[in-house]
Amino acid sequence: MTRLLIWGTGGQAEKILAQFPHDTHEITAFVDSDPARRGLFHGLPVLGPAAAARLTVGQDYDQLAVASVFLGEIRQQAVALGIPAERIISAASLHFLNAAHLLTAAQLAELAGVPWWYHGYEILPGVVTPGACGYKPWLLSHPLVANLTGQRALDIGAWDGPYTLEMSRRGALVTALDIQPPTHSGFAAMCRVNHLPVRHICANVYDLNPAEHGTFDLVTFFGVYYHLKNPLAALSNINAVLKPGGLVLVEGAVLEGAPMLDGFWAGRADVIEALRDIPMGYFVKGEYEGEWSNWWVPNLTCLCHWLESSGFEVLERGLVEGGARGLCVARKVQALAPEHTVLPPA
């Protein structure tokens, strides 16, 4: 039985505990840098880093598992305190022990080396990653994207790459774009275990341009626009890299779902319903769903107007996830016109 210290008492620790391999591992204590979290967590003591460093490796515990997105920083702190680097692992790696019989040693090492996972999806047959955001198959359910053989696709906001992987399986040559380097998520590991020759661009969608990044037949833009202060600038760049007639699939938070998700809108579904045909966007600073990076939340009508004003024809629109999210399929019908007319010299 392997004895573990778990560094972290937050959401990442909770996820690990939900699928903990009790047959092979046991937890002796938790570690947290925040003095306010000392005491007990799931019935076990929570130690400070200095107290954890006074424990004896091989006697009090065998490994330190870091349950945090800040694996690199915590590893450095732990090593500086005298904890051997070879005894420090990612807590997310424990998740894959339950599927070890489906993996080669090399595959297990690749997946176990990822600090944390955002997406939960089937990365290999029978092997599901431990991310919080599940794969949404309906985002790629439109008949026009059922067969992507020979098409060039761009996956904006790829993170761990579940949609990159699925579009590749459908025959597309996929490029992923994300502000996170592929080694900071599970993307690089996903590509290696699936032998995918996928191009990854570490950049902001505001920097997307055809001269540098090429043109595409299909762009997926899932879960991104409401994290942008200027979503229309992003749609303008998507228009620029799409070939004439190319498709863009857009999904994200919409105001119709606000009463279910946001405290301000609780009990105000009638207000949103009364305004559903008016294209309106709700702008907040660090409040919607309690997430600091949520800025613009349009209603579905507004989202369609954004697309139409950006050179697209909306082919399909609808609410998904019980009305909490909007999904649009749109085709590029024209290049984006200038915002203002430039007058000739007097």
User: pLDDT tens string for the chain (346 positions)?
Assistant: 899 999 999 888 888 888 788 888 999 999 999 998 889 999 999 999 999 999 999 999 999 999 888 888 999 999 999 999 999 988 888 888 888 899 999 999 999 888 889 999 999 999 999 888 899 999 999 999 999 999 999 999 999 999 999 999 999 999 999 999 999 899 999 999 999 989 999 999 999 999 999 999 999 999 999 999 999 999 999 999 999 999 999 999 999 999 998 888 999 999 999 999 999 999 988 788 888 899 999 999 999 999 999 999 999 999 999 999 999 999 999 998 788 888 888 7
At residue 316, the pLDDT reads 98
| Residue 287 falls in which region: left (phi positive, over 0), alpha (psi -120 to 50) or beta | alpha
Q: Give SS3 for 163.
A: helix
Tell me the per-residue pLDDT of 40-88, one tens digit each, with 9 for 90 and over. Answer: 999 999 999 999 999 999 999 999 999 888 888 999 999 999 999 999 9
d(CA 272, CA 331): 28
Pair of tokens at residue 174: 């996929």
Burial class (CB in 10 A: 0-12, 13-18, 19+), 146: exposed
Identify the structural domains of the chain with CATH numbers, from first to last: 2-111 (3.40.50.720), 133-332 (3.40.50.150)
Inter-residue contact 325 to 257 (CB < 8 Å): yes
The token pair that represents 65 in the structure block: 């598992």
Q: For strand 133-134 and strand 127-128, is the pairing parallel, antiparallel, or unpaired?
A: unpaired
Which one, of 30, 73, 24, lies nearest residue 55 by Cα? 30
CA distance linking residue 153 with residue 205, whole number of Å:
15
What is the predicted pLDDT for the residue at 276?
Answer: 92
What pLDDT sits at residue 290?
Answer: 84
Q: Answer yes or no: are the C-beta atoms of 132 and 15 closer than 8 Å.
A: yes
How far, in Å, CA of 252 to CA of 258, rounded? 12
Q: How far apart are CA 83 and CA 87, in angstroms?
A: 7
Q: Fill in the amino acid letter for 322.
A: G
Residue 18 confidence (pLDDT): 82
The Cα 24–Cα 2 span in angstroms is: 6
Predicted TM-score (pTM) of this structure = 0.88
Question: What is the pLDDT, as a whole number, of residue 59?
Answer: 92
Distance of CA 332 to the CA centre of its chain: 26
In 195-343, which ranges are continuous DSSP H helix? 210-213, 231-241, 258-261, 269-274, 300-309
Which pLDDT belongs to residue 297? Answer: 96
Closest CA to 320 of 275, 254, 271, 272: 254
The per-residue pLDDT for 94 is 87
DSSP string, 132-153: SEE--GGGG-SGGGS--TT-EE
Q: Provide the CA 211 distance to its chain's centre, in angstroms.
A: 27
pLDDT number for residue 70: 86
Counting runs of H as helices and runs of E as strands, what totals does the chain give? 11, 19
